[in-house]
Amino acid sequence: MEFLCPICQHPLKFADDDLLETSDVFATLSSVDCPNCGTVHLPDAETQTRINSAIGVEGNGRVAHFELIRLLGRGGFGSVWLALDVDLNREVALKLPISQREEATSLVHEARVAANLHHPNIVSVYEVGTSDDQIFIASEYIEGLTLRDVLSTGKPKRELAVEYTTVIAKALHHAHLRGIVHRDVKPSNIMINASGQPVIMDFGLAKNISVEESMSSEGQILGTAKYMSPEQASGKTRETDRRSDIYAMGVILFEMITGFPPFRGNVRAVLHQKIYEEPPSPRSLDPSIPKDLETVCLKCLERDPSKRYASAEEVAHELVRFQRGEPILARPVSSAEKLWRWCQRRPGVALLIAGLISSLTFGLVGVSYFWYRSEKSAALTDQAYYRSQMRLGSEYELRGDIDGVRASLSPFGPKQRLAGLRGFEWNYLNHRLSPYLDRIQTGTPISEIAISRDGKYVAGVGNQRTVDVWETQTGRLVRTLEIEAGKFLSVDFSPINANLVTGSSDGFVRIWNPVLSDRIENETKHGPAVSQVEYSPDGTRFLSRGTRGAVRIWDAQTMENVIEIPTGGKNIVKDVQFSPDGKQLAVGARDATTHEGSIQLWQYAERIKQDRFGPIMMLEKIEYTSDGTMIAAGTAGGTIVYLNLADAQQIETKLIQLGAVGDLGFASQTNHLMVVASSGNLNVYDSQSHKEVNSVTSHNLSFGCMDQTVDGKIVAVGSGTGDIKLFDTNSLVQPSVIWADDFISQSAIIPSKSEAILLVGNKSVWRYEYGDAVTATKIYEADEGIITSLALRSQGDKVVLAGRGTDLIVLDLEENEMESRIPKLSDLEARVAVSPDGTRLIVADQNGSISMRDWSDLETSIVDVSPDGVIISAVIFSPDGSEFVTAHQDGRVNFWSVENGERLPHSLEVPTPVEALCFLNGGDRLILGNQRGGIFVWDRGVSGTVKEVNGHTARINAISAFQDEPRFITAGRDRLLTIWDAARIEPITYLYGHEKQVFSISISEDGDTVISTGLAGDLRLWQGKED
């Protein structure tokens, strides 16, 4: 961009920002500094034609036949007056230019070109002439504000801006059709008349393309810097045509819709940007601007005139389409084109960048390779870390360390970086935390425990002379109760208030209110050391007893001894309990020599002995059911004795194999029996079957002690380690184990149901529902032979049974009955498998013969394989149903074609007989479990290679895979369930619980539930649903 010296034409520099709004740069300067000529004075008043500044100051000036009324404006161009044309008696706008005499012809040109234009939105020129060497131009007087005045108050509404631009475009098109280009379109040259319509004025730089091409010399910059086009800014006057006006119109539209001009800075900066830079996106300044309106604006502002609209009429049409909500014809400039334009403007920089990009590309390839390897290594490390944490979590859960379990799960929580690694095992361990409400570490072994009626406080008796009271929700120590002599031996909270009763070795019974203070509220002497204190259900009385002597009952208010119940001098009193209605007292005691125990029932108010139950060897603890109809007694020998009070009968003695019973209690809502014993577990037993339904690790280094809230919702267990664990009773009574009357050798989960089909004792088939309630229905009992194999159709409607000395049996699960009996070729033991689509059945006999049948006609064999005398231990279909696989006792694993029954070439041999088979990855891998506990992995994709890994310490009986997770589970004689990473073939974690070997594993269709069955007759439920 250049301004030229008037004398030598050398380029000049300016730093005046105010020149941005000036059409003629020299009009506001008196001199310029030229490097060649020095200071150059611009023409002064003597060489210019001027209007006397005194004329019209008082309103009485006159030029030719125009009387000057008032000054409308003054600037570098001269002045404009409101004048009266005395000849025609009309008001006009009279322009009195300041011009050099050599420019007079150019000024007259303005009037000539404007006089040719007749349009309602273009100011009309009436007359041009001279008077006393003063040129004047008389034009139509428009009353109103300029668009510049309007913009100075803020940007107009978008609809109005579009309307203004549309009208301006139509007016300019009128001029362009007549070969006239304005060349100085700007807001100050546009009046807004009384009707709100824009009117273009001041064609002072107008160019008549067809007639007066030579009027402007090449290199002279004409126009206003802020609104001139790039070709004007470059001084390329001959290239200035109607598209320059379209550019200026684009600048005005840009300013009206954004509130800012597209280019800002001083004159030099603005002209440089116009020539070399693309305009910014209007939406970058105001995101609410519609995309189509931005496209129209930017097309007007294209630096290359050929890329702008060809005519102002096209602009008007585009804006009308926009106003009507119709698609515009112009398309936005693509990112690729923007990049190409930038490269054309800066070829040197573009070349350097291209070289840099090439270097970076080669570097990036190398870096990417090593990054990929490091990412892969990091992913393997993360997976190994996950597996180790899950194994730790299982060990922590086995020990009852809930803080350890939580710490193991925490790195893979929902919002953690490694959350994507977690699977069934994480959800299972998280689910196992649900019974645990909290854990309080007291620092002192707990021998007795009591929880307040509302569950807010728990009190524990340790080895010291204190009772500590803790807040259950926060674990905060609320109070420490102390006595001067002796030790606390027993404690109980009142069921009606916050009082606490304690018994101690000094023979005293004391009442406290630990919520309020640590002082004794009341006390009385019981006699010998007080081993037990217990409130009555209504809280009006409490009992106290020692290891020998009478049981004393006290008034809770007055501390008066109201009743004494004898226990017999030779007996050691082990436990005393009120009945739920508070009318009966059960006293459990045993002979000090023979350890033969008994339970005596008293109507204690009348001191009447009712019944005696016994003998019960090694009696330790007793408890009423919540309805008072039964008593359960726990012994030091690890048995539970159930007594029916209605007929005074001992109804069952159950060996629980938990060791000595430390404490027991019935859940008040469900009558489930809860037992803590020397095993360290809190075991829950069904109220009807008296069989275990759940077990959690609760304590250590002691037999355990237990108490529950009045409503039975919270259970507290004290431990020899000083732990107090709080449990949610509702979670505790949810079944995690279901028992059958005999071992369970086979299982299958019915799709989309919380139900399983079980083969019990090789003789009967049962249907178990394990949802909110457990129900069991026998659907078949074998009348001959034994059943050794069970297969469920994928549709979940039929089950096929096979065995030894029996026919094939088909069961209808909708009717829960036998549907058909199909003769088998031999009485030998057989195994069955059903294809994934439920259309094919494989029957493999022990002698090695194989028969394939179509489900529509199970009596007819469509493929037969002759027997070879080798026992078939397992048979399965591939996931796509195109092959089936048989495992033989001699170590052969054969693949067979379903289509023609031929043995396939990728059959293999392993050194140890295989007992279980399972496909992974849609059939790409086959997992084999052998008699020694090893796992073989056959990989179809790696030339059928076989990899062996250590799995279990004894025979593997079952393998099952998850459908939607890269995991599988194995189980066998070592009683463990192992969850494996299917990709790495490495153990993720272990599931503990079975007391004897595991026979079968089944996984639900959604992968949320795993069931395993075993020799003990137990069905274990492993829940892994994501919370």
Q: CA separation (Å) from 89 to 71, 139, 448?
A: 19, 14, 119
Q: CA separation (Å) from 182 to 94, 179, 222, 977?
A: 20, 10, 11, 90
Strand (E) positions, 729-816?
A: 737-739, 744-749, 755-760, 764-770, 774-781, 786-792, 798-804, 808-812
Q: In what order do the strands lie in the sheet with 840-845?
A: 830-834, 840-845, 850-854, 857-865
Last residue in a domain, options 114, 140, 166:
140
Is there a contact between 948 and 932 (Cβ–Cβ < 8 Å)?
A: no
| CATH code, domain carrying 57 | 3.30.200.20
Are 84 and 183 within one domain? no
> 727 is written with which tokens?
């449990």
Q: Is the peptide bond between 261 and the residue preceding it cis, with omega within 30 degrees of 0?
A: no
pLDDT tens digits, one per residue of 1014-1024 = 999 999 999 99
Are 228 and 256 within one domain? yes
Strand (E) positions, 158-238?
A: 180-181, 190-192, 198-200, 207-208
Strand (E) positions, 76-154?
A: 78-85, 90-97, 99-100, 125-131, 134-140, 145-146
Specify the 3-state DSSP secondary structure of 3. Answer: strand
CB-CB neighbours of 47 under 10 Å: 10
**How many angstroms separate the CA atoms of 620 and 642, rounded?**
14
Are 722 and 792 within one domain? no
For residue 251, the model assigns a pLDDT of: 95
pLDDT tens digits, one per residue of 591-625 = 988 889 999 999 998 889 888 888 999 999 999 99
Cβ neighbors of 101 (< 8 A, separation 6 or more) are: 47, 48, 49
Cβ neighbors of 909 (< 8 A, separation 6 or more) are: 891, 892, 893
Last residue in a domain, options 118, 140, 162:
140
**How many angstroms separate the CA atoms of 934 and 927, rounded?**
10
Is there a contact between 256 and 165 (Cβ–Cβ < 8 Å)?
A: yes
The residue among 708, 769, 698, 774 whose CA lies nearest residue 735 is 774
Are 722 and 848 within one domain? no
User: What is the pairing mode between strands 78-85 and 125-131?
Assistant: unpaired
Find the length of the chain. Answer: 1027
Q: Indicate whether 392 belongs to any domain.
A: no
> 290 is written with which tokens?
């519609």
Its pTM stands at 0.66
> 373 is written with which tokens?
């390897």
For residue 43, the model assigns a pLDDT of: 46
Are 73 and 156 within one domain? no
Q: Indicate whether 114 belongs to any domain.
A: yes
Q: Residue 300: which domain range? A: 150-345
Are 69 and 105 within one domain? yes
Cβ neighbors of 884 (< 8 A, separation 6 or more) are: 833, 835, 842, 852, 875, 876, 877, 878, 895, 896, 898
Q: Indicate whether 188 belongs to any domain.
A: yes
Q: Indicate whether 26 belongs to any domain.
A: no
CB-CB neighbours of 40 under 10 Å: 16
Specify the 3-state DSSP secondary structure of 786. Answer: strand
Is there a contact between 32 and 26 (Cβ–Cβ < 8 Å)?
A: yes
Q: Indicate whether 735 belongs to any domain.
A: no
> 237 is written with which tokens?
């006057």
> 12 is written with which tokens?
């000049």
Q: Indicate whether 616 belongs to any domain.
A: no
Are 332 and 478 within one domain? no
| CATH code, domain carrying 489 | 2.130.10.10
The total number of structural domains that make up the chain: 4
Last residue in a domain, options 110, 140, 170:
140
Residue 95 is assigned to a ligand binding site: yes
Are 220 and 76 within one domain? no
Q: Indicate whether 161 belongs to any domain.
A: yes
Question: Which residues in the chain come in under a pLDDT of 50?
Answer: 1-2, 7-9, 15-28, 36-41, 43-59, 205, 207-222
Are 133 and 164 within one domain? no
Q: Indicate whether 963 belongs to any domain.
A: no
Is there a contact between 338 and 278 (Cβ–Cβ < 8 Å)?
A: yes
Are 673 and 529 within one domain? yes
Are 211 and 306 within one domain? yes
For residue 822, the model assigns a pLDDT of: 92
Are 84 and 156 within one domain? no
**How many angstroms separate the CA atoms of 815 and 962, rounded?**
29
